[in-house]
Chain A
Amino acid sequence: MKVSITINGSAQSHDVEPRTLLVHYIRDQAKLTGTNIGCDTSSCGACTVHLDGEAAKSCTILAAQADGGAVTTIEGLAINGEMHPMQKAFMENHGLQCGYCTPGMVMAAIGLLNENPKPTDEEVRLGLEGNLCRCTGYHNIVKSVLAAANK
């Protein structure tokens, strides 16, 4: 079936099987490999993107469901070579180590601040409950998100 999705502002249209997951559409059809796959059960959040402006797990959405929608991936955050404030905050606060969960974590964190611009430490932790990181122990991720919120 034909699926059309605007990804990072660029209109895409591809023929895919109905079972194609949005994350596979993004990686294989749109050739944007920044969005990662970390689990089979919608648990880890590595695949988090923004769909129509909200954080969503692209491994649990069919490309067909997103047909006609607008997706922002990690590749779509930087503007004119300048990283998004959240990306900068992660860098400045050592909020990443291996970097595999990072694209999803950053997208979830931006989504969190969109809904709650001045969260507490506890609200950041709870707001990121759907994203797992195995390297950082989350300490510096929370610090990064709070820093971004206070910019």
Chain B
Amino acid sequence: MSITQERTNSIIGQRMLRREDPALLTGEAKFTNDLVIPGALHLAVLRSPYAHARIKSIDVTDALTMPGVIAIYTGKDLHATWAAPMPCAWPVTPDMKNPAHFPLALDKVCYVGDGVAAVLANSETESRDALDAIDVAYEPLQAVTDLEVALSDKTIIHEAIGTNKSYTWNLKVEATEGAVDEAFKNAAFTVSERYIQQRLIPMAMEPRAVVAVPQPFGGDITLYSATQVPHILKVMTAITLGIPEHQLRVVAPAVGGGFGSKLDVYAEELLCVALSRKHGAPVRWVEERTENTQSTIHGRGQIQNIELAADKDGKLTAVRVRLIGDMGAYLQLVTPGVPLLGAFLYAGVYDLPVAYDFSCTSVFTTMTPTDAYRGAGRPEATYAIEVAMDALARKMKIDPYELRKRNYIKKEQFPYTAFSGLTYDSGDHLAAAEKAMGHADYAAVRKKQATQNVAGARKRLGIGMTSYFEMCGLAPSRVLASLNYGAGGWESATVRVLPTSKVQVVTGTSPHGQGHETSWAMIAAEKLGVAPEDIDVLHSDTAIAPLGLDTYGSRSLAVGGVAIAGACDKVIDKARLIAAHQLECAAEDLEFAQGTFSVKGSHDKAVPLAAIAFAAFTAHNLPDGVEPNLEAQYTHDPKNFSWPFGAHICIVEIDTETGKVDVLKYIAVDDCGIQINPLIVEGQVHGGVVQGLAQALYEEAVYDTDGNLKTTNLAEYLVPAACDVPPITTDFTVTPSPTNQLGVKGVGEAGTIGAASTVMNAVIDALSGLGVTKLDMPASPNNVWKAIQAAQGGK
């Protein structure tokens, strides 16, 4: 059965309300810190106030006498506990430098927030009080917060590796050798731009939390964690602590958002497990927001140099990119791979000849480690090409939309083999852009702009757009192998029809706000002809869903959802054998629709799936060679990435006196292929857009030159509230992916990928008449005002 064709009475495509909601809306849902675990000890971590310092001594004498304190450990005390350093799963090059990183620092600290000592006490309050009584003597060293200074190796952060450079990764593809240089030499127009992707703090509303519950006599241990990746965490915890993997169970209870920040293996998870084993008691930890800003990964952090070459019509002829990536103090789980996730996308949605030269050098700094944050590499790439396209249009004095139209990969070119060798599955960029332009009333805005943006105008109007491509559905395992990633990209599903015909769907995805329970039930309902309410979706517990690779990178639907469809197919195939046996016909003569097998052409000969499930359970009369029970497991390893795309438009008005940017309208036209639940799809776009818009206008993790984070809480780090962002106009085109049976692509990151460049293009569009053609994010009032002053002063 192909869902993309049978649309009548389809469950797929309905705006079904989420089954997750009642528990979350009534306080019934249990987040990790809500779990009641009798006898749990509380962990608190003393953190370095220095960005870079040698630890001279740690005196815990006074702290040990504090009420309720059970034990205090330093990095040296626990060193023998670790079977391996903390994991980095993505050694992007064979010579990549990866300094050993342990849950607590040994001799030196390398960022403000680096763990120095662990306190175990009877209560959270007592553990917190004891931190103030620990006396650490530090010898401060030079902080390294500037990426280019870091590259100079003037101050080496990790002596053992002798350099601050972690790796250089190149992707140079040329039709003939020298094609890129040749293209730039022959170009009618070139632009050379430098952009800063500021550091961002993911700020999931739920801070991290961990509880480790040992069974000292049973030999097992359960780790509860606010994580996106229980399966990966299980493997990595087993390796890092030398615990036999089969004795470890990881559970992600209700998880309050992640955005990549919970796609990691963290010191506190390892500390809770290690200390709970040592003490034979449960150990719990909950992160304070101030800790979260310093000790949970940051995102972005790149300096981007991008050059475009174009012919006289503006057709791109070559792209050259030089990146410097900020790794922070250590490599976390996929830190070094983040720039690579964008490396293939710096030509955006454009039909580029095979003339592409990308190189990324990544460096260590004395700041919080970076890692994947919503979009991971792809928003950065999209930003660079899309803002550079506007620069090219300005240089050519043509409309930026016109320039894009001349360069779009055309609908009829799909599936399209890109310069990189990757195949883009399907797309229609012009259709998405036209739809967005319609919502924006582009011509009218341009007309209004011409009358409004006169010399001396207090408020200037700007409009900007982005056309984006998202490489997602991570990922074909063989492609990951070619990128040196340390795991596969498959996803697993088990579908089980119970004797009473209710269905269990077991998935390896691990939702934290995406509504998988609702959407996965819809997929199985569609496939099996069962009512969604008769389907339960089980996840996020490695004892219940032992196989899985979790949720990140807009992969869950495109890989995990497709796995569910595959498992349903296997269930149907097995049921068909039983049905044929019961109806005394050949399996090929049966058709399956609305949950019933019937003999083609004679519909009175039929048997419902429910009856087959019961027959499979009793096993009284099964065909030879067919095992009892109706259950199938299927692992989907995608053939290709999926390529969602879209066009976003933003209209802004800027107060030239104060520099304040008002977003008047934001339009997102996205194409994520077939939509399982449009209600959820829209929600993902809304949230994604606001995160991208927040990068453009509000957010920045600011460090001083001594390496102190100045934005350590939600009063200083400006996550916008409802009144600070506009309503979002969403619309869609639907171009099914031909590479999976559901025709789906994924939508988790789309909004974020499109938004930052869209907003910034609008801002620069408003200001370009004043001579402002470059502006770093965030476009804060101060930054905008300064740019206007500089441009006006320069006249």
Q: Which residues of A does B touch, CB under 8 Å?
A: 17, 19, 27, 31-44, 46, 73-75, 77-78, 83, 87, 90-92, 94, 96-103, 106, 121-122, 124-126, 128-142
Q: A34-B26, A77-B26, A100-B31 are in contact. Are A131 and B691 (CB under 8 A)?
A: no
Q: Whole-angstrom distance between the alpha carbons of A132 and B719 in the complex?
A: 7
- Report chain B residues within 8 Å CB of A133: 205, 722
Residues 276-299 of B, flagged 1 when their CB comes within 8 A of A and 0 if not, give 000000000000111000000000
Contact of A34 among B28, B682, B688 (CB under 8 A): B28
A139 adjacent to B18 (CB under 8 Å): no
- Report chain B residues within 8 Å CB of A33: 27, 30-31, 33-34
Interface-facing stretch out of B137-145, B255-263, B614-622, B637-645 = B255-263
Q: Which of B25, B27, B29, B256 has the most CB of A within 10 A?
A: B25
Q: Which of B17, B255, B679, B721 has the most CB of A within 10 A?
A: B721
Q: Which residues of B does A touch, CB under 8 Å?
A: 17-18, 20-31, 33-34, 36, 125, 203-207, 254-257, 259, 288-290, 512-515, 679-680, 682-683, 686-691, 713-715, 719, 721-723, 725, 727-728, 751
Residue of B nearest to A138 (CB): B722
B725 adjacent to A100 (CB under 8 Å): no
Number of A-B contacts (CB under 8 A): 175
Report the minimal beta-carbon distance from A43 to chain B, rounded to whole angstroms.
Answer: 4
Contact of B686 among A17, A39, A136 (CB under 8 A): A136
Q: A17-B125, A74-B26, A97-B683 are in contact. Are A134 and B259 (CB under 8 A)?
A: yes
Q: A34-B28, A73-B27, A103-B27 are in contact. Are A98 and B715 (CB under 8 A)?
A: no
- Report chain A residues within 8 Å CB of B27: 32-35, 73-75, 103
- Report chain A residues within 8 Å CB of B686: 136-140
A94 adjacent to B206 (CB under 8 Å): no
- Report chain A residues within 8 Å CB of B715: 41-43
- Report chain A residues within 8 Å CB of B256: 36, 98-101
Residue of B nearest to A90 (CB): B25
B290 adjacent to A40 (CB under 8 Å): yes
A135 adjacent to B713 (CB under 8 Å): no
Q: Whole-angstrom distance between the alpha carbons of A100 and B205 in the complex?
A: 6
Contact of A98 among B25, B206, B728 (CB under 8 A): B206
Q: Whole-angstrom distance between the alpha carbons of A138 and B24 in the complex?
A: 17
Q: Whole-angstrom distance between the alpha carbons of A94 and B677 in the complex?
A: 11
Report the minimal beta-carbon distance from B693 to chain A, rounded to whole angstroms.
Answer: 8
- Report chain A residues within 8 Å CB of B721: 125, 128-132, 138
- Report chain B residues within 8 Å CB of A132: 205, 714, 719, 721
Q: Whole-angstrom distance between the alpha carbons of A78 and B364 in the complex?
A: 52
- Report chain A residues within 8 Å CB of B512: 98
Q: Whole-angstrom distance between the alpha carbons of A135 and B721 in the complex?
A: 12
A94 adjacent to B18 (CB under 8 Å): yes
Residue of B nearest to A104 (CB): B205
Q: A92-B17, A129-B723 are in contact. Are A100 and B713 (CB under 8 A)?
A: no
- Report chain B residues within 8 Å CB of A78: 26
Residue of A nearest to B123 (CB): A28
Report the minimal beta-carbon distance from B595 to chain A, rounded to whole angstroms.
Answer: 27
- Report chain B residues within 8 Å CB of A142: 722, 727
- Report chain A residues within 8 Å CB of B725: 137-138
Q: Whole-angstrom distance between the alpha carbons of A122 and B590 in the complex?
A: 58
Q: A36-B256, A102-B24, A133-B205 are in contact. Are A43 and B722 (CB under 8 A)?
A: no
Q: Whole-angstrom distance between the alpha carbons of A140 and B679 in the complex?
A: 10
- Report chain B residues within 8 Å CB of A35: 27
Residue of A nearest to B21 (CB): A91
A91 adjacent to B514 (CB under 8 Å): no
Q: Which of A35, A128, A140 has the most CB of B within 10 A?
A: A140
Report the minimal beta-carbon distance from B1 to chain A, rounded to whole angstroms.
Answer: 28
- Report chain B residues within 8 Å CB of A41: 289, 713-715
- Report chain A residues within 8 Å CB of B21: 90-91, 96, 99
A99 adjacent to B728 (CB under 8 Å): no
A38 adjacent to B206 (CB under 8 Å): yes
Contact of A97 among B28, B203, B515, B722 (CB under 8 A): B515
Q: Whole-angstrom distance between the alpha carbons of A150 and B751 in the complex?
A: 30
- Report chain A residues within 8 Å CB of B26: 34, 74-75, 77-78, 83, 87
Q: Whole-angstrom distance between the alpha carbons of A73 and B679 in the complex?
A: 28
- Report chain B residues within 8 Å CB of A100: 31, 204-206, 256-257
- Report chain B residues within 8 Å CB of A124: 722
Report the minimal beta-carbon distance from B37 to chain A, rounded to whole angstroms.
Answer: 12
Q: A32-B27, A97-B257, A99-B513 are in contact. Are A129 and B722 (CB under 8 A)?
A: yes
- Report chain B residues within 8 Å CB of A87: 25-26
A134 adjacent to B691 (CB under 8 Å): yes
Q: Whole-angstrom distance between the alpha carbons of A130 and B715 in the complex?
A: 11
A91 adjacent to B205 (CB under 8 Å): no
Residue of A nearest to B286 (CB): A37
B679 adjacent to A94 (CB under 8 Å): yes
- Report chain B residues within 8 Å CB of A130: 721
Q: A32-B27, A125-B723 are in contact. Are A134 and B257 (CB under 8 A)?
A: yes
Report the minimal beta-carbon distance from B300 to chain A, rounded to whole angstroms.
Answer: 16
Q: Whole-angstrom distance between the alpha carbons of A92 and B30 in the complex?
A: 22
- Report chain A residues within 8 Å CB of B18: 91, 94
Taking A133-B205, A137-B689, A137-B728 as known contacts, 18 extra A-B pairs with beta carbons closer than 8 A to each other, sorted by chain A number, are A27-B34, A38-B714, A74-B25, A83-B22, A91-B25, A92-B17, A94-B17, A97-B257, A98-B513, A103-B27, A106-B25, A126-B722, A134-B205, A134-B257, A134-B259, A136-B687, A137-B690, A140-B682
What are 20 A-B contacts defined by CB distance under 8 Å? Answer: A33-B30, A36-B256, A37-B207, A39-B289, A39-B713, A44-B289, A75-B28, A91-B22, A94-B682, A96-B25, A102-B24, A103-B25, A121-B727, A125-B721, A125-B723, A129-B722, A131-B722, A135-B513, A135-B687, A141-B722
Contact of B719 among A83, A126, A134 (CB under 8 A): A134
- Report chain A residues within 8 Å CB of B679: 94
Residue of B nearest to A126 (CB): B723
Residue of B nearest to A102 (CB): B24
Report the minimal beta-carbon distance from B49 to chain A, rounded to whole angstroms.
Answer: 17
B203 adjacent to A134 (CB under 8 Å): yes
Q: Whole-angstrom distance between the alpha carbons of A139 and B723 in the complex?
A: 10
Report the minimal beta-carbon distance from A4 to chain B, rounded to whole angstroms.
Answer: 21
Q: Whole-angstrom distance between the alpha carbons of A98 and B23 in the complex?
A: 11
Report the minimal beta-carbon distance from A29 to chain B, rounded to whole angstroms.
Answer: 13
Residue of A nearest to B728 (CB): A139
Residue of A nearest to B717 (CB): A43
